[in-house]
Structure 1
Amino acid sequence: QNAVGLDALKAHAICVQASHRHGGIVAPPDFWHIHEMGPSASWLPVYVGETPQHWMTAVPPWIHFKNVAYQLRAADAIGFHAALLVTGHYGPNWEDLKTLITLLQPYFTMRIYGLPDFEANQPGFDNDGQRTGDHAGKVETSLLWALEPDCVDVSRIPDPPTPGPNFAMGGDAREADRRVGERMVEDEVRWLGDKAAELLEQYRQTAPSPARPVSYAELERIWAMEVLPRLKEFKTMQYLDRPPPPPDSMWQLNYLIPDIPGVTGT
């Protein structure tokens, strides 16, 4: 019922609306994310199934997060005072994004905050602070319906009790409501505006003058000193006690987390 790429489409559209309301520039969405290794691969056979086409545009965690580091370096070097990194893709990656920012922030003048969009979705679908996110269920479907209506076709939601996994569609997707989606978008836009103002105030209080940009070589040293030794602690680099995909599953291909010195850890 939702277009492929829901996560990025949703997050990008929310950020665009926030920029119109509160100012700022929105970078292009990053469709290359983490979803085929370790805990993500364990999730796939249960909720997506063995599909003819997997539709993934995934990269391993060390590639994704290093790209994030370089994007932050570029924004800081240009002179942005604050950056909000909003991911519409859930799972352990958003926790690792916060860890990465904690490791990198001391080296950048720009103030940085990373979050899954559900953190900003308060009070959520039911106005109780509980249902702020899901996986193609009533929350995400409502949000995308409000943001990109041409990307949602609720007539394609199968009639109950159609057995799953239905390409990871949430079990309550039939309860999606475009009007609730519009209200949740407003809630997220307001939250992001408040957080941006908070970051800008932090910048005003702490920024040196003049600010000095980080070079490529410096960023590589920062990665080697700060991130690489901690990479194996990232949740996307652990199995998290989840069972592996079945031996004959298509999701076995990238399930194993490799041990490559200098790449996946020290």
Structure 2
Amino acid sequence: MTRQIERLRPHQIAEALSERSLIYLPLGTIEWHCHHLPVGLDALTAHGLCLRAADKTGGLVWPPLYYGTGGDHAGFPWTVMMPDETAIRPLLLHTLHRLNQLGVGTVVLFSGHFANEQLAMIDGIASDWNAIGKGPKVIPLAVNRARIENFEPDHAGLFETTLLSGLMPETVDRERLSSGDEGGLDRFDPKSPLWGIVGADPRRLPPVAPNELVDGVANWLAAAKPQRAG
């Protein structure tokens, strides 16, 4: 049975949550990730990793939210970035209230977008919610918080390219990147062959294979869970 809650009927949802009362809520954006990656990368990776983790832990995965905040790419092509958390926070809080009413025990806010503002938002929501001491426990996590040895998280660079290659290889096309030297160009200059990339050059060979990176992050996400409900 799929772990995607939107594809399940009510009795299937009840059965899955009776085994593990846990909902993963993946967060992302629509944001420029250079020419070789899809604009939905952050949400695609968050959703894919949540599904991998749920296969290990039980529980279900909510549809990803493709709106985020923060970062330096707001003016790049095909990017829709909220200026702050004002529009996003109420959506997440209302979702938590409804999941509380439905008896869910734990909710993981898992962000594939890890700008400082985004991380502050999910940390603040979790802190405020958990301080009440009622309803589901909320755990704020993000892709960049999974520490993979010798492989630093980035934006559209070698890390994110490798990660998405392990989850959805058909969405990645490294051949769209020029083989030329950067020539001293700033990566925020549209003339740069690595326009908008922050981090290691994705044209290099990664230190670990794509599937190994996916497994490493998914295992970390799964291990970050509390004890089984009940």
| TM-score for both structures, normalised by structure 1 | 0.62
Alignment-derived partner of residue 183 in structure 1: 212
Give the secondary structure class of the aligned counterpart of 1:161.
Answer: coil
Give the secondary structure class of the aligned counterpart of 1:90.
Answer: coil
> What do you get for the CA RMSD once the two structures are aligned?
2.2
* Cα distance between partner residues in 2 of 1:79 and 1:172: 45
Alignment check: 8 A CA contact 1:139 1:181 kept? no
Alignment check: 8 A CA contact 1:32 1:64 kept? yes
Alignment-derived partner of residue 62 in structure 2: 27
1:160 equivalent in alignment to 2:195: no
Structure 2: 5+ residue stretches without partners = 1-35, 189-193
Give the alignment partner of residue 106 of structure 1, picking from 104, 107, 131. Answer: 131
Aligned length: 183
* Cα distance between partner residues in 2 of 1:75 and 1:159: 49
* Cα distance between partner residues in 2 of 1:94 and 1:176: 29
1:118 equivalent in alignment to 2:152: no
Structure number with greater CO (CA < 8 Å, separation at least 6) is 1
* Cα distance between partner residues in 1 of 2:154 and 2:115: 10
Q: Which amino acid aligns with 1:144?
A: L
* Cα distance between partner residues in 2 of 1:118 and 1:184: 12
Alignment check: 8 A CA contact 1:98 1:114 kept? yes
- Structure 1 pair 183–100 and aligned structure 2 pair: CA distance change class (3 A): same
Which protein has the bigger strand share? 2
Alignment-derived partner of residue 263 in structure 1: none
Give the alignment partner of residue 145 of structure 1, picking from 165, 181, 185. Answer: 165
* Cα distance between partner residues in 2 of 1:152 and 1:11: 16
Alignment check: 8 A CA contact 2:37 2:156 kept? yes
Give the alignment partner of residue 2 of structure 1, picking from 24, 28, 37. Answer: 37
CA radius of gyration, larger in: 1
Runs of 4+ in 1 over 6 A off after TM superposition: none
* Cα distance between partner residues in 2 of 1:178 and 1:186: 14
Which protein has the bigger helix share? 1
How far apart are residue 119 of structure 1 and its match?
A: 1.0
Alignment-derived partner of residue 211 in structure 1: none
How far apart are residue 176 of structure 1 and its match?
A: 5.0
* Cα distance between partner residues in 1 of 2:152 and 2:81: 25
How far apart are residue 177 of structure 1 and its match?
A: 3.9
Following superposition of structure 1 onto structure 2, how do residues 33-182 of structure 1 map, counting pairs within 5 Å? 33-35=68-70, 40=71, 43-44=72-73, 54-59=77-82, 60-92=84-116, 93-107=118-132, 108-120=134-146, 122=147, 124=148, 127-128=149-150, 131-162=151-182, 163=185, 164-165=187-188, 166-170=194-198, 171-177=200-206, 180-182=209-211
